[in-house]
Amino acid sequence: MRKQEEHLFEVLDHLLRVRNECSCKIFSECGLPDMTVKQIAYLKIIDEQGDVTFSRLAEITRNSKPTITEMVNKFVRMECVYRERCPDDGRVLYIRLTEKGRMIANAECNAMHLLIEQLMDSLDEREQDLLVRLLEKVR
């Protein structure tokens, strides 16, 4: 049984490497190969929140407003976000993702889709069905 576990480890490690390569490819296509995990997490939060203000993002991430301002300024320079004034209250600024920011925020999901595509392309229909049934058993 030990040998099977080691083999499974190697196979899963390979799959994770392929997924990470897909993520890195997406970041490189965006011109941002050195994105940090923290930066990606902030972009995901902005994406999930929709109408997020500086104050709200500071609250969610448990950071100070100056820290959020510095981060947003960096994201603006990276062309990942832009500021948009609230139409109802010009004093309120929303943080919005650019298309580039959205691609980065969704990179892990997109990388998973690329991995699945590669998996499915390497298997015939019977093997695909078997793989899905086996993975469904893992809970």
Q: How many CB atoms lie within 10 A of CB 30?
A: 19
End-to-end alpha carbon distance in the chain: 20
**pTM exceeds 0.75, yes or no:** no
- Asked whether the beta carbons of 130 and 137 are under 8 A apart, the reply is no
As a whole number of angstroms, the distance between CA 75 and CA 70 comes to: 9
- The domains located in the chain, with CATH, are 2-136 (1.10.10.10)
For the segment 34-53, what is each residue's pLDDT rounded down to a tens digit? 888 889 899 999 999 988 99
Q: Which amino acid is at 28?
A: S
Instruction: Give the pLDDT score at 16.
Output: 86
